[in-house]
Amino acid sequence: MRPRFFIAEALRSIRANAAISTAATVTVLIAVFILGAFIPSFLYVQSTVDAQKEKVDINVFISDSATVQQVNGLSSNLTGLQEQGLVREFTFVSKDDALADLRQRLRDPSILEELPSNPLPASFNVLPADPEQSEQIVAEVEDHPAVDEELGVRFAADTADRLLTAARIIQWAGLALIGILLIASVLLIGNTIRLSIFARRREVEVMKLVGATNWFIRWPFVIEGVLCGIAGAALAVVLLLVIKLAVVDAWIADADSALTRNDAATIGFVWLAVLLVAAGAVVGALGSGITLRRFLRV
Amino acid sequence: MGRSERLSELRPGDGPMVIFDGVTMEYAPDAVGLDDLTLSIESGEFVFMVGPSGSGKSTFIKLLIREIEATKGTVTVGGRNLAGMRRNRVPYLRRAIGCVFQDYALLPGRSVSDNVAYALQVTGESPRGIRRKVPEILGLVGLAEMSDRLPDELSGGEQQRVSIARAFVNHPRLLIADEPTGNLDPDTSIGIMQLLYRINRTGTTVIMATHDREMVDKMQMRVIALEHGRLVRDQRQARYASVE
Ligand SMILES: Nc1ncnc2c1ncn2[C@@H]1O[C@H](COP(=O)(O)OP(=O)(O)OP(=O)(O)O)[C@@H](O)[C@H]1O
Ligand SMILES: [Mg+2]
């Protein structure tokens, strides 16, 4: 194959069909722009939810009457669960720790001085490996004799549930949307290229009649699609960069620390740009490659 | 490539270039292009296909380059049965045959020389080879001055000659021309006729479909006459119409 010839043919055809090439490029520009705005937003929400998931913990309250052996037994049960991979980590919180913790959180700790004795129970604070398995961990430990009968084992079942559902919905909806966007842009660019090929079907027919193979005809079209795809994606990236610098970065700088401090890792702009331009190229190649198939049966 | 090479290597005397054996072409039940046609054409021959409009001349040519496939019977070109030919071999068949189409079939957005060059590019010819061969063949058909014009900037006869140049630039062993002198003035027709004759003298088999009575009468070559898709006459050193 002679790439120089095919590239020259593609450029000739872009020049000869400037209007349609522009339409294809603008199509990719719009699709990639939406994709480029959506991916970081999706990742931001996703990682925020993930960060919340990390904080789902289980408190196993220990009865004041439990013996040291019973507490040790519970502790080794938890170690067992850790070895099974259910528990990520757990820490023992003594009665004194609990009181110190409470003292820190109260605006006016002096009221604690009034207490005749420490009413707070000791506990194990357990972080599940996977928050979805919290119920299972609870079931494993709640009947242990060291566990306080009244307080038992607690975790924010409701919050956790809602959080997990939200996480799942965001994940699937996000992936579905990205998929739909990609398919839509393949179809859109395919449609635009179909116009171009339809206008040139006689040309394709003649090429076949003088002995061109299908790939000989297809390469320039595919390269044309790739060039339009890359051009459209590159323009979208420039547009996204302008918006990022002018709007989003300024907004983040203005927002209060709760927002900026977040550990939400989104995606680096360079990687996003590379990803989008690659997506533009693939979409362009697929769009023209698939569309051309119908016209090659001469 | 090996198998398609056979076609271009076929020389006069090696046996028939074209064999039609009981070929019927039905476009639709009520549209018959050819009806049980049997004939053979030797390598190096010059053959006129004559017959009224709609008698099947273009159908015959389209079958040769496998633009269409016969409903019945076998078409053999250069020893290759076209019915058994794989789809991806067809481009190689077409390169080995030069074809002047009834409607010229030029690439509209390309200059005269680019149109001719395309037939070479398709075969993988080097840019150097193209730079050498294209002006040469354009000189042969008398279009040296017009190599940068677009097809729609040319007269019918000039487009006709571009089509001939493109068909012959690969020096095929078989050249087919579908009414290459249709709608041309007598002088231009004679020029094109002489060109095809010269090409034939180099050993190329030439099949020419035509309505041009005067030309056929003057040339005294083999004439194959069709009517309603059927062979009605096949005669050597003949005239356009049969003389009783
Ligand atoms: N694609 C097609 N579909 C249906 N019928 C067709 C088709 N092409 C040709 N025919 C019919 O087949 C018959 C032979 O047509 P063909 O084009 O071979 O004639 P021809 O001898 O080349 O005529 P002309 O001298 O006018 O070019 C005609 O009756 C024509 O109507
Ligand atoms: Mg015809």
Q: Which of B155, B188, B3 is nearest to B79 (CA)?
A: B3
Question: Can you give the residue ranges of every domain in chain B?
Answer: 106-171
ipTM of the complex: 0.90
**Residue of A13, A8, A36, A3 whose CA lies nearest to A283:** A36
Q: With pLDDT > 70 as the criterion, what percentage of chain B qualifies?
A: 93
Question: Least CA distance to A3: which residue of chain B?
Answer: B124
Q: In this complex, is the C-beta atom of B66 within 8 Å of any C-beta atom belonging to chain A?
A: no
**Ligand 1 center to B228 CA (angstroms):** 10
E strand or H helix that includes residue B175:
strand B174-178
Task: Give the ligand 1 atom nearest the CA of B56.
Answer: 18
| Ligand 1 near B53 CB (within 6 A) | yes
For residues A158 and B116, which has the higher predicted lDDT (pLDDT)?
Answer: B116
Cβ atoms B77, B18 nearer than 8 A: yes
CB B214 within 8 Å of CB B226: no
Q: How far is the centre of ligand 1, averaged over its atoms, from the C-alpha of B116 (Å)?
A: 27
Q: Which long-range contacts (CB under 8 A, 24 or more apart) does A177-183 make?
A: A177/A38, A177/A42, A178/A35, A178/A38, A178/A39, A178/A42, A181/A31, A181/A34, A181/A35, A181/A38, A182/A35, A182/A279, A182/A283
**Predicted confidence band of residue B107 (pLDDT cuts 50, 70, 90):** very high
Report the chain A residue with the minimal C-alpha distance to residue B100. Answer: A210
The region, left, alpha or beta by phi > 0 then psi within -120 to 50, assigned to residue A245 is alpha
Q: Is the pLDDT of residue B99 over 90?
A: yes
Q: Please give the average per-residue pLDDT across A60-75, as a whole number.
A: 84
- B21-51 in b/e form (b: 16+ CB < 10 A) is bebebeeeeeebbbbebebebebbbbbbbbb
**In degrees to the nearest 10, what's the CA dihedral of B199, B201, B202, B208?**
40
Averaged over A161-170, what is the pLDDT?
A: 77
Whole-number CA gyration radius for chain B = 17
Highest averaged pLDDT of the listed ranges A24-33, A248-257, B137-146, B234-243: B137-146
Tokens 């054996």 sit at which residue?
Answer: B21
Q: Which atom of ligand 1 is nearest to the CA of B61?
A: 18
Q: Searching chain B, which residue's CA lies closest to the CA of residue A6?
A: B121
The contacts of residue B125 (CB under 8 Å, 6+ apart) are: B133
A215 contacts chain B (CB < 8 A): no
Residues of A in contact with B107 (CB under 8 A): 203, 206-207
Residue B180 CA, ligand 2 centroid: distance in Å: 11
**Nearest-5° angle of CA A91, CA A95, CA A96?**
100
CB under 8 A, 24+ apart: contacts of B125-133 = B133/B169
Give A126's strand partners: A58, A90
- The pLDDT score that the predictor gives to residue A75 is 86
So what's the pLDDT on residue B178?
A: 93
Residue A263 clears pLDDT 50, i.e. is over it: no
CA of B57 to the centre of ligand 1 (A): 8
Q: A–B: how many Cβ contacts below 8 A?
A: 49
| Contact criterion met (CB below 8 Å) for B241 and B213 | yes
Q: Residue A127 forms beta bridges with which residues?
A: A89
C-alpha span between B138 and A262 (Å, rounded) = 73
Using a 6 Å cutoff on CB, does residue B57 contact ligand 1?
A: yes
Does A1 contact chain B (CB < 8 Å)?
no
Instruction: Report the distance separating Cα A158 and Cα A178, nearest Å.
Output: 30
Amino acid found at B69: E
pLDDT at A126 over 90: no
Mean pLDDT taken over chain A: 81
Which residue has the CA at smallest separation from atom 29 of ligand 1?
Answer: B54
Assign B23 to helix, strand or coil.
strand
Alpha-carbon distance A213 to nearest alpha carbon in chain B (angstroms) = 6
Residue contact B99–A209, C-beta within 8 A: yes
**Nearest CA among B32, B21, B27, B47 for reference residue B225:** B47
* Residue B235: strand pairing partners: B223
- Please report residues of B whose CB lies closer than 8 A to that of A296: none
Rounded mean pLDDT, B229-243: 88
> Smallest Cβ distance to B122: which of A202, A205, A216?
A216
Dist CA A277 CA A231 (whole Å): 8
A180 inside 8 A of chain B by CB: no
User: With bands split at pLDDT 50, 70 and 90, how would you rate the model's confidence at A267?
Assistant: low
Residue of B65, B109, B122 with shortest CB distance to A16: B109
Q: Is B55 in the pocket of ligand 1 (CB under 6 A)?
A: yes
Cα A120 to ligand 2 centre (Å): 103
In contact, A71 and A85? CB cutoff 8 Å? no
Interface contact flag, B121 A5, Cβ < 8 Å: yes
Least Cα separation, residue A285 to chain B (angstroms): 22
Q: Does the Cβ of B56 fall within 6 Å of ligand 1?
A: yes
- Report yes or no: B62 at the A interface, CB cutoff 8 Å: no
Residue B57 phi, psi dihedral angles, 5° rounding: -65, -50
Contact assignment for B166 to A2 by CB distance below 8 Å: no
Query: Which ligand places an atom closest to the C-alpha of B227?
Result: 1
Kindly list the structural domains of chain A, giving each domain's residue range(s) and its CATH number in brackets, ordered by start.
Answer: 3-52+163-296 (no CATH), 57-155 (3.30.70.3040)
CA atoms of A132 and A160, how far apart (whole Å)? 8
pLDDT tier for residue A253 given thresholds of 50, 70 and 90 = low
pLDDT at A51 over 60: yes
Find out whether the beta carbon of B33 lies less than 6 Å from any atom of ligand 1.
Answer: yes
DSSP secondary structure string for all residues of A217-238:
HHHHHHHHHHHHHHHHHHHHHH
H/E run at residue B163: helix B156-168
Strand, coil or helix: B26: strand
